[in-house]
Structure 1
Amino acid sequence: NIKLRDQMVDAIKKASIVGIPFYKNDPILTEDRLKRPLTDRVFKHFKITPKMCCHTFVNRVFAQKSDFWKALQGKRILIITKDKWADKVTKALRKKPYNLNVTMSTTFHHHDQMVDTLAFIEANKDNFDIALISCGVNSLVLAQKVAETGNIGIDFGKSLMYIVQKKAGLKNSSRGANKGLIP
C-alpha cells in the first residue's frame, strides 16, 4: 500500500518521538536483519531523521508504570482500536487500577477507514485530550493526525490488547518489556 507507506513516512518525519529497535539484544521477536538494520535503511532511503527516539516497546513499559496512568487521570481519553478490543479496553481503563476518563472510542480495522476516522477525530477534537491508538501500522498516521488537532496522539502498539488479555498493565508484565527499555 504505497499510500499508507507515504503517510507513514510523513507521520514519522513529523513525530515528536519515534520508537525504534535497539542495535543489540533487542527483545522484538524476529530476525535481527528485520530490526535496526532495516529501520536504518528505510530511514536513510526516505531521509528520516527523528527529532527524538525511544525504544519500540516503550508503550509496553508505560502500560506497566503507575506514573503513566496517573499522568492520564483527569484527561479526556479517546481510544482508537480494533473492533473486538474497543469496548473491553474502554471498560478496563475506566475501572481500577487505571480510573481513566475514557470519553469516547472508535474502531479501526483497515486502512480504508482512514478518511472516516480522520473526520471523526477532527469533529471530536474538543472532546478529548489524549488518544491511545492501537490499530497496527495505521496507528502511526492516526497519532500524527491527532497531534495536528492540538491533542496528544500515542501509538500504543499492542498494549491496549495486552491489557484486555491481562498480558500487560499494572498487574501483569509483557515479555521483555521491563528489560532496560527506559533509560
Structure 2
Amino acid sequence: MRARTRTRRGLTHDARSDADGAAAVGAAPSAPTRPGESTARRVLRVKDLLDRDFAGRWDLGSMARAAHLSPTHFRRCFLRAFGRSPSAYLTARRIERAQWLLRTSDLPITQIARHVGYESLGTFTRTFHRMVGRTPSAHRSLGPPPGVPACVVRSASTPHRGAEPTGESSGRVRGGATSGA
C-alpha cells in the first residue's frame, strides 16, 4: 500500500508499508519483535534465524532488516555479541554443516555445496580449503567421524554423588536421607 508521507524538511514522497516494502524487496523473514525488546535480543533472534536457515540467501541488509536495525548498527552489535561479523558467522555455520555432510553422506560435493548455500562449486571449494585447511574431497576421504568414546559414555551414564535423583524410585528423599530400612 502506497501512502504519501511528509519528511521533517517538509518534502513528500511515496512510502510503502513495512509488509509491502519487505515483500517487494524480497527480504528475508523478519524475526518478530516485541515492544521494548533490547537490541541484544534482536541480534540473538537473527543469529537463531541464521542457524535455522544457513543455506538461505543472506546479505547484511536482509539480516539487519530481520533485526529491525540499520546494517551498520546490526554488524557492530553482532560483532560485539559473538566476536565475529555476521557474514563470518554464516560462513562458519555453512562450512561446519558441509564438513558433517561430507563425512556422513554419499552426496556429490556439488550437491553439498548447494545444500549449504553456495551456488558456485569454486567458491565453496576455495572457502572450505581456506577455513578447514584441506579440500572437500580430502576431507571426505577421512571417513566417517569417530563415535563418542566409551569413557565419555560411561561418565555420562554413571550417577555422581550429590547429583539430583533422576527418577521417583531412586530411594532418596529430601535432605539426602534414604527411605526404607
Bigger radius of gyration: 2
TM-score (norm 2): 0.23
Give 1 or 2: higher strand fraction: 1
Structure showing the higher helix proportion among its residues: 2
Q: Which has the higher contact order (CA 8 A, sep 6+)?
A: 1
The TM-score with structure 1 as length reference comes to 0.23
